[in-house]
Structures are given as C-alpha cells and as structure tokens.
Amino acid sequence: MKPKALLIYIVPVLLLLSTIYGYNIQDQPGTDLKSSNEYRESVLGNPPVMPFAIGDSCGGTGQEKHDDGSFENGGGWNNTVTDGRFVLKFRPPSYPWKYTKFCIALTRLATGSDSLKFDVVLFDSTGAGGLPGAQIGSLPNQTARPVLVFPAFSWFSFDLSSIPAATVNSGAIYIGIKLDASIASQANKFVMIDESAITPIWPGYAWPNTGPWSTAQTFWPSYRSWGMRTIGQPSGPPPGNSTLVLVHDSTLADTPKRKADRDTLNRYLPSLVSGYTVKIMDTTKTLDSLSNYKTVILVETSFDAANVRYLGAAARTQLKAWLNSGTSGDKKSLISIGGDQAYNYNRTGSGGRDLEFSETFGKYTFIVDNAQSTNPATEGVAIDIGNQRSMTTAPAGAGYYPDGCRVVAGGSTVLYRYTNHTAADTVAAIGNIQSGYLVASVFQDPRYFNGGFGEVLKAVVGWVKTNGGVITGINNGSSAYNNPSDYQLSQNYPNPFNPETKINFIIPSTGLVSLKVFDVLGKEVASLVNEVRNAGVHEVTFNASSLSSGTYFYRIETGNFVKTKKMMVLK
C-alpha cells in the first residue's frame, strides 16, 4: 500500500456543491479515506451546507498564494509513515525578501484528537532540478488546534520573522511542515489541496519516511496547490514604512498576559499607524538594523519571564545609538510602553539596569512598583489634558505593576499622572524632547486599561507627531479613527473571557456588515451585527453567558473583506 490517505468529497454531494458554489471536483476512487465508514456516515449522512474555514489565512499586503481559495481535497499519511513532510515552493516578487508569516490549512476526520503536532520547516531549492535541498530553518514543536472536521478546515499561522533563512536573496524557498513522529498524532489529519482545474499547478512536494521528495501529484494526481500561503516584505522596512514595533517573543514564554498586551495593542495600532513592521525580541536578541526607521514602538509586559523581560544590553546599545543619530531635520522617536520598564531599567539590582537608557533618554527614575491600586486611573497632563483613563487591578493574565516614576530634568515633560498623585510627585508617563530625538515612556501595560488604552496611544502618537517625529500614516494623530484606510478586525478583549468580551472592527466605507460567532463545528451560535454600518471604528459587546466553556470563532463579512478570529470562553 502506498503511504498516503486522500480526502475528497463523494461525487453526488460534490455535484450539488459544484452547482451551488462553483467547485470543480475531480473524483479519485479507491482511496483510503473514501472507504472509511466514518467518512461515509459524516459526509453522506450529514451533507454540509457549505465548507467553513477559520483562522489566519495570510491575507493582506505581501501575500503569496497559489490556490484559488477553494479546497476540494486533502492529503495526509497513513500509519506506515513516521517521517511525513509536505512543502510548497515560494518565489519572492523582489529581492532581498523576508518571509514573515506562514499559513497552512488543515482538516481532519472526527475520530481522534483535534490537534496536530509538527515542525514548520524551510528548505532551499538546491535539490536536483530545483527540488527541496538542505533544511535551512525551522520552528520546532508547533501545535495546530483546533483542526476542524472535514469539510470544514482551519487556517493556522506561524511567525517566521525570527528565522534568518526566511530572508531570500535570490531564487526560491520551500516552506511547509514535518509531522511529529508519533503516528497517533497525525492520524486522520490532512493538508488541504486545491484541485480546481482553473488553478495552475504550483510545485508542491511530499516526503514519506526516508524519501525521496516526490511531486504532490505522485500521491494525489489531481493536485494543483497545497493550502499553504505566506506573508512577506522587502528586507528592511518597505517603502513608506518607517515605524518598527518590538514585542516579546511568544514562542519562548507563552504567557496569557503577554498575549493580552499584544491583543490590546492590535486593537488600536492599525487605526493609528497605516504601515509598520513588527519584530519579536528577547533579552539576548540583537536587533536588525534600525537605520531605515524613524519611529520605534517598544511594548513590554510587566515582570514577564526572565528571557523576555526587557531588551538586552546589545539591543539597548543599538537603540541608544539610533536615537543619538537623529538630527533636528530627521528626528528619531521612541515610544516605550510597559508597567515594569522603570523597574527593569532603573531599579538597583535589576539585571537590565541601564541608567543612560532610563535617565538620559527616558528621563525617569524608579520610585514605586505599584503606583495606584485603589480606583486606579491615569489623567492627561501635557496630552489628553484632564481626561482620566481608568485601569483594572485584575487585568487579563494578572500581573498588575504600574511603575511610579520621578521626572529627570532637562527636556522632560509629564504626559500623564496617576489620579492619586500630583504631576510633581509619582507620574504615569513622561516625554523627553531633544533636538534629534523624542522619547515617550508610558508606565502601564496596554491590558491594564478599561478600554482607554486606545486614547492613550492616540495621544502619545499625536505628541510625537506634533513635536517633529515621523509616524507612518498618522494623519496628525487624531483623525485616523474617523477616516480609516483599510478594513480591520481586532482580537476580542479580554480573551479568555466570562461572560462578556468586546470586539472592534474598522471599515473604510459605509456598507452592510455581518459579524457572527461559530462553534468549532462551524455552527452559528450568535449574530452580533447584521446591518449597514458607517465608515469608522465600531465596538461590539458579546455576552456568552448561554454558552459552555470552549473555543469559538467570530467572523466578519463586509464588502470584499472576510476575516475570522478565535476566542475562548472560560467558565
């Protein structure tokens, strides 16, 4: 028996779906999966209304895909394979090109677990005749979950930005997955296949056991493309993009509070900064060249795991040199956000203590680790004047440590104060204006705020712009909320949640909006929006009190924009 399994619709059902949805299906008889009783009972007994997909499918600028958006089939290995691999060829539109994200579409039978373990792998194209050659990079020990039951399927995305080999200077690269050696892990799991006749065949390869690499058509004759896609960009900031965002590496210490900080940032930053590059960091990382950036936004999570707690000495040296390279006609700007940055960079005994970074550039000295725990809030002083932005002492992921700091004289100004302190006492945010650079330090994690972080971020970004800094697409720091240029669906916040969470979305033009919630089987459990909405930013509250604990998905459809994200109800 060949070491394979093939996922495909039964012909009568497919003919109906082809009529309704335009699928072009090629039957392949005699496959392992088609003869499965489970397949016959689930698909023939309960024919789906339409395929359902969830997850990040690598949409947006810099996308490279070779499928037509529909997947009629899926390929996997049977229980004779302990080293199974699938890769797709990717060829950049220009050089040098940095692949920053890899996405893969997966499905399964109902039997067994809903997760699949594998390494994301990268190969060069030095094999005979341009086949996959040497493995040049990997993201080991990844888990995809939940994998939906066929004909539904799940998209999963993986950050490639930390892999040096993801930057391609010439030729092509192969990216895909190497399955976990455990047969039980891969049982009844499949990579989606596009079999549409209109799709040009794109080089995809498969490797069972000791190999060799064979074309996907060797095992799946109607193959046109794997369900694999990428996002990339020219190496260095793309044209017109001068803003760099630095966030913690979530693969090193996967803590809920860091995810909550990242989710909160992602709710608001896209509506303020139209183009930016995101890179991950840890305490040992040396940053890529900063020479082409004008603004750096650094987001740190309070008292995070030691290996991702703060910028290491080498990265701080780079950042200080970059700030000092600024001139009155070409100012550099640093926005540093995090509840423990003073605790990390100024406190005696801290492994990251750096008085030049904290006192010369940041203009702050550390005073207290928890500046306000009763009715916590910050109030605008030099910006967002007089407006109070409330916080919670029990933020998502826990860890409430808003630093209280004292101002170092010489170009500094108080941006925010805590409402239980004066501006001359223990302050909440400090700005430093120098001839060649600007530094704004905000001493709270993004997730601390009860919905007010967006206003804080908008005010700080506006302060940078007003004082001569450059931030891509900011439009004076005020009207980006009201005049968005692109569609956005933000991660719900808080997440996980019980029973309520908020979902933000942005639409650039007035139109019909559908926002629905589905369970893991693709069944609709709530309709949150089904009406015409005006252009702008919108927030919807979802109450899940009637739902049980578990994973759910929310999907927006408006104009030509469709996006799905995952949320977790935890009771």
Is residue 405 scored above 90 in pLDDT?
Answer: yes
Q: CA-to-CA distance for 477 and 295, rounded, in angstroms?
A: 14
Nearest to 334 by CA among 293, 392, 373: 293
The CATH number of the domain where 524 resides is what?
A: 2.60.40.1930
pLDDT > 70? residue 493: yes
Instruction: Check residue 110 and give its pLDDT.
Output: 83
268-272, 410-414, 495-499, 523-527: lowest mean pLDDT where?
Answer: 268-272
Range ranked top by mean pLDDT from 19-28, 242-251, 544-553? 544-553
pLDDT score recorded for residue 250: 63
Residue 32 pLDDT exceeds 70: no
Residue 200 — φ and ψ, nearest 5°? -60, 140
Quick one: 342 exposed, middle or buried, by C-beta within 10 A (0-12, 13-18, 19+)? buried
Residue 535 lies in a domain: yes
| pLDDT of 286 | 85
pLDDT at 238: 52
pLDDT at 22 over 90: no
Q: Is residue 355 part of a domain?
A: yes
Residues 389 and 283 in one domain: yes
For residue 384, the model assigns a pLDDT of 93
Claim to verify: residue 505 and residue 440 sit in the same structural domain = no
Residue labelled with tokens 């650039």: 508
Judged by average pLDDT, the poorest of 109-118, 275-284, 331-340 is 275-284
Q: Answer yes or no: is 9 within a domain.
A: yes
Looking at the fold, whether 303 and 413 belong to one and the same domain comes out as: yes
Residue 517: its pLDDT value, please? 94
Element (H, E) at 161: none
Full residue range of the structural domain in which residue 449 is found: 243-477
The HSE-up count of residue 534 (CA atoms within 13 Å, CB side) is: 4
Instruction: Please tell me the predicted confidence (pLDDT) of residue 260.
Output: 85
Query: Do 367 and 462 have their domain in common?
Result: yes
Q: Pairing mode, if any, of strands 116-124 and 243-248? A: unpaired
162-215 confidence digits (pLDDT tens): 888 898 878 899 999 999 988 877 888 999 999 999 999 999 999 999 999 999
* Prior bond of 212 cis (ω within 30°): yes
Lookup: tokens for 314: 């080498």
How high does pLDDT run on average in the chain? 83
User: How big is the CA angle at 440 (ends 437 and 442), to the nearest 5 degrees?
Assistant: 165
Residue 524 has pLDDT above 60, yes or no: yes
- Taking residues 332-338, report their average pLDDT: 96
Domain count, the chain: 3
Residue that is last in its domain, among 234, 251, 266: 234
Kindly report the CATH number assigned to the domain that includes residue 273: 3.40.50.880
DSSP, residue by residue, 17-33: HHHHH--------S-TT
Instruction: Band the pLDDT of 112: cuts 50, 70, 90.
Output: confident
Does some domain include residue 483?
no
Residue 18 predicted with pLDDT over 80: no
- The pLDDT, as a whole number, for residue 329 is 87
Residue 477 above 60 pLDDT?
no
Q: Which residue blocks in 325-430 are alpha helix, DSSP H? A: 341-345, 355
Confidence of residue 151 (pLDDT cuts 50, 70, 90): confident
Q: Is the pLDDT of residue 118 over 60?
A: yes
Overall average pLDDT of the 50-78 stretch? 84
Tens of pLDDT, residues 251-289? 666 578 887 888 888 888 877 886 777 787 888 888 888
Asked if the structure places residue 191 within a domain, the reply is: yes
Q: What does the alpha-carbon distance between residue 549 and residue 160 come to, in Å, rounded to a whole number?
A: 32
For the cut 70, the answer to whether the pLDDT of residue 476 exceeds it is no
Residues 199 and 247 in one domain: no
Find all residues with CB under 8 Å of 362, minimum gap 6, and list them.
Answer: 336, 341, 342, 345, 346, 430, 432, 439, 441
Q: Do you find a cis peptide bond into 140, omega within 30 degrees of 0?
A: no
Q: Are residues 334 and 393 in the same domain?
A: yes
481: phi then psi, degrees, rounded to nearest 5: -65, -35
- At residue 51 the predicted structure's pLDDT band, cuts being 50, 70 and 90, is low
Q: What's the pLDDT at 489? A: 84
What is the predicted pLDDT for the residue at 21? 28
Which residues have CB under 8 Å from 160's CB, separation 6+? 99, 100, 101, 102, 120, 122, 137, 139, 166, 175, 230
Same domain, 22 and 159: yes
Q: What is the DSSP letter of 401?
A: -
Considering the domain architecture, whether residues 281 and 315 belong to the same structural domain is answered as: yes
Closest C-alpha to 281, from 240, 256, 316, 242: 316
pLDDT at 254: 56
Domain membership flag for residue 482:
no
Q: Find the mean pLDDT for residues 340-356.
A: 95
Among 286-300, 325-339, 520-534, the range with the most confident prediction by mean pLDDT is 325-339
Residue 239 has what pLDDT? 54
Cβ burial, residue 220 (10 Å; 0-12/13-18/19+): buried
In a domain, 276, yes or no: yes
Name residue 413's amino acid: T
Interior angle at CA 404, CA 399 and CA 406, nearest 5: 155
Q: What is the mean pLDDT of residues 22-35?
A: 30
Q: How far apart are the first and last CA of the chain?
A: 47
How large is the average pLDDT for residues 144-151?
Answer: 88
Within 13 Å and on the Cβ side, how many CA atoms surround 554? 26
> Of 199, 234, 269, at which residue does a domain stop?
234
Query: Could you tell me which residues come within 8 angstroms of residue 12 by beta carbon, excluding any fewer than 6 positions away?
Result: none
**Statement to judge: residues 467 and 505 lie in one domain:** no
What is the structure's pLDDT at 38?
53
pLDDT per residue as tens digits for the range 531-550:
877 777 788 889 999 999 99
Question: Do 173 and 202 belong together in one domain?
Answer: yes
Report the alpha-carbon distance of residue 250 to residue 220 in Å, rounded: 36
Contact 404, 371 (CB under 8 A): yes
Beta bridge partners, 244, equal 277, 296
Task: Out of 457, 477, 497, pick the residue that ends a domain.
Answer: 477
Residue 473 and residue 496 in one domain: no
Query: Please, are residues 429 and 411 in contact by the beta-carbon 8 Å criterion?
Result: no
Residue 208 forms part of a structural domain: yes
Residues 180 and 311 placed together within one structural domain of the fold: no
